[in-house]
Chain A
Amino acid sequence: MTTEKDNLRTSIKEAIDSQKRPTVTVLSSLLAIQDSIGYIPEEAIEEVAVHSNTSINSVFGVASFYPNFRFTPPGEHSVEVCWGPTCHLKGSTEILEIVLAKLGLVSEGDTEDGKVSFRFNTCLGACSQAPVLSLDHELYGNVDSDMAEKLLGDLDQNKTTH
């Protein structure tokens, strides 16, 4: 009988082994795992250490360095708001206020029901369309308060229908 933990290990190993790029490193394996299961559980740190023949500490050292890694399962939806200088000048503060209020958060993190994960982003790469918001990896540019309200409102609808 397999347990949930065994299944987790199997998916982690699959993510490590299914990398297509020729060079496999601790970082590339961690990114592959995060892409596949959405976060880096302790089992992932252990498996990468075994696979790369290195210590758990050095793998965690890499994972904890890059802010895109998370150590708990993500919510069903991801919301990111850019706070780079262009977005800031174009009103991202207002967007951030609306998003945080809608999600009931004061900073980065997951909503109380665990459905939505929110992150700050230093640059989403579409400065010419600032301010920019990313919702489930779809980019939205020239966001104003109405649009932010609507996008987050649609998310509420989604949450209840799920």
Chain B
Amino acid sequence: MNYQEIASKAKTEWDEMTNGRVPLIRIGTAMCGHAAGAFRVLETLKEYMETKGIEANVQEVGCLGLCYAEPLVDIKKPGKSRLFFNNVGPEDISQIIDEYLVSDGYPKEKVFGYLGEEGPQDDEASLESMPGMRLQNRIALRNAGHTSPYDINQYIANGGYSGLNKALSNMSPTDVIDEVKNSGLRGRGGAAFPTGVKWSFLVGSPGPTKYILCNCEEGDPGAYNDKGILESDPHTLLEGLAIAGYATGASNGVVFIRHGHDGPINRTEKAIEQAYESGLLGENILGTDFSFDIEVALTGESYVAGEETALMEAVEGKRSMPRYRPPFPAAFGVWGKPSNINNVKSLSYAPEIISRGADWFSSIGVNQSTGTAIVCLSGDVNRPGLYEVPMGLTLGEVIDDLGGGVSNDGQLKLLQTGGPLGGVLGPDSKDIHIDFDEMRSAGAIFGSGGIIVGSDRVCAVDLTRVLVAFCQFESCGKCFPCRLGMEHLLEIVERIANYESKPGDMDLMKSVGGTMEAGSLCGHGQLGFGPIRSAITHFEEDFRLHIEEDRCPTGSCDRSKIVPKNTRPYATDHVIGE
């Protein structure tokens, strides 16, 4: 079948589903929905409809971005707009079904808002008018919350795989790379390296076997956007991977996910299976001479496995420890073959960049940061969520407009951005724009998009201790400056937090940090001192109080804090054969 045939069949199915005879019920079951109890709601809903003998099409969807409203139940009755019920518990199901599906009313107090051209049924608010939606410009997450991740036809009906079709039928590989270069897309994994330039490194490498690796290790606490894309709309990643494969002449794609994250794993594998069945992966894609295979590889729990060379080690089934460079991955990558590593988000933009053009993408954003930022907003805010907004918004707009301000009427004290190796910013950071370069010069990074908000009840020393404990726990152990340095840093920060600091501790930390920076192979050791450096810069007073006055400004260090330490099993004395 050619693309037009596939697309028209998918479109007919979609129209039948969204405006058919029976109501369409969508429930968000991405990780945010899952943790809020969506699967318990889904189960109750299915049971209740069965007992009542009500016919409806029930679909699991991903995250609309409004995690604070999960579990969200979205009901589309024929001829009516979509009506959303928020924070639904299993106990609310009977009332919602009885009033809205059996009769024609609905429990007003449980309604969140509506979405759709048909307009409101009463005085309910439009989701699009809410700041959490209005400020968003969803590109990578365009289908999240709207289509089922388990159904390739829902993706195709919404323009899916048209970017790949366009690339294969109208563009040369060089055209594709130029388009991505011109779009200004920069890698969303943390380093912000131009994606088109990265792809071009692989072009000249000898084939026929070349790999495009997609990194969804996402071990950063505070970041969930990669998992969010895979759980909400895995096909946008697969299409992006295939486009990257065509552009670079690669033969294989590998999606690298952490073991245990079953939502992203299962949905991606199902999507791969469906893409093969539809002829969108495998031999001679869409009847052209381009062939491309994708598989999923799992890693054990290891933050460092997100580093590109450590990732390749893990794909090969070894300990995820970084390799020496050179040779660089484009020359000698996974299994010794030329490889190119991209983040989920970077690849997920590719389909829309190809369909809508580089100019469209580069018109969004600011300066050298084009496109959107996929922000994982968590911590002390009223509306935590997964928001895709144009680059260039200020951190203040993110916290106040998207996030609804600091929770519990608190004052903003700190922001932790860019993952545990990123930085800590102070309350004066509200005017900083989400711009890769501006954030870097402010001493933080945008990184992979995590923004953790801390109110004035948070102690900077306490937070620093958790960040350092994480980095110590996750050091892979290959380079001793990182392995031992992290342990020293944790020891010192704990001393300070326990009011037992010794004279010279602050200088000692800086000296250890300098050694780590100079003597570590990968970013984990090189950047591991970053959180402490930025915390000391912005919260000198918090540190001073602990050191000189033996007190914590918020009292949180007075309680004994359980922070896991040295629990990595390589410290065990278990010996095989004894």
A residues neighboring B (CB under 8 Å): 21-23, 25-31, 42, 45, 52, 56-57, 60-62, 64-69, 71, 82-90, 93, 96-97, 100, 107-108, 120, 122-130, 132, 137-142
Does B319 contact A61, Cβ atoms closer than 8 Å? yes
Interfacial chain B residues near A90, Cβ < 8 Å: 379-380
CA A31 – CA B386 in complex, angstroms?
30
Does A27 contact B317, Cβ atoms closer than 8 Å? yes
Contacts A68-B301, A130-B378 known; A125 to B261 CB distance under 8 Å? Answer: yes
- Tell which of A29, A90, A129, A138 has the most Cβ of chain B within 10 Å: A129
Q: Can you list 6 A-B pairs, Cβ within 8 angstroms, ordered by A?
A: A86-B221, A90-B379, A96-B562, A122-B221, A129-B70, A141-B32
The smallest C-beta distance from B188 to any residue of chain A, in angstroms, reads 17
Contacts A64-B569, A129-B67 known; A84 to B221 CB distance under 8 Å? Answer: yes
Does A132 contact B221, Cβ atoms closer than 8 Å? no
> Out of A31, A66, A123, which one reaches B220, CB within 8 Å?
A123
Does B35 contact A97, Cβ atoms closer than 8 Å? no
**CB-nearest residue of chain A relative to B414?**
A89
New contact pairs (15) apart from A65-B569, A67-B300, CB-CB < 8 Å: A21-B295, A23-B315, A27-B300, A28-B317, A56-B576, A60-B576, A61-B319, A64-B572, A86-B379, A122-B303, A127-B222, A127-B450, A128-B378, A129-B70, A132-B35
B residues neighboring A (CB under 8 Å): 31-32, 34-37, 39, 67-68, 70, 218-224, 227, 259-262, 295-303, 314-320, 376-380, 384-386, 416, 420, 450, 452, 454, 458, 462-463, 466-467, 470, 473-474, 476, 559, 561-564, 567-570, 572, 574, 576-577
Interfacial chain B residues near A97, Cβ < 8 Å: 562
CA A33 – CA B433 in complex, angstroms?
47
The smallest C-beta distance from A15 to any residue of chain B, in angstroms, reads 14
A-B interface pairs (CB < 8 A), number = 182
**CB-nearest residue of chain B relative to A59?**
B576
Does B222 contact A86, Cβ atoms closer than 8 Å? yes
Interfacial chain B residues near A140, Cβ < 8 Å: 35, 37
The smallest C-beta distance from B89 to any residue of chain A, in angstroms, reads 12
CA A139 – CA B71 in complex, angstroms?
13
> Out of B218, B224, B319, B576, which one reaches A128, CB within 8 Å?
B224
Contacts A85-B222, A129-B36 known; A65 to B564 CB distance under 8 Å? Answer: no
Does B562 contact A93, Cβ atoms closer than 8 Å? yes
The smallest C-beta distance from B558 to any residue of chain A, in angstroms, reads 12
Interfacial chain A residues near B462, Cβ < 8 Å: 88
Does A93 contact B564, Cβ atoms closer than 8 Å? no
Does B564 contact A123, Cβ atoms closer than 8 Å? no
Does A122 contact B452, Cβ atoms closer than 8 Å? no
**CB-nearest residue of chain A relative to B466?**
A88
Interfacial chain B residues near A82, Cβ < 8 Å: 221
Interfacial chain B residues near A126, Cβ < 8 Å: 31-32, 34-35, 224
CA A128 – CA B452 in complex, angstroms?
10
Does A85 contact B470, Cβ atoms closer than 8 Å? yes
Does B32 contact A128, Cβ atoms closer than 8 Å? yes
Contacts A68-B301, A108-B564 known; A141 to B36 CB distance under 8 Å? Answer: yes
Contacts A108-B567, A127-B224 known; A89 to B452 CB distance under 8 Å? Answer: yes
The smallest C-beta distance from B215 to any residue of chain A, in angstroms, reads 15
CA A28 – CA B297 in complex, angstroms?
8
Contacts A62-B319, A65-B320, A128-B384 known; A21 to B221 CB distance under 8 Å? Answer: no
Interfacial chain B residues near A89, Cβ < 8 Å: 379-380, 452, 454, 458, 463
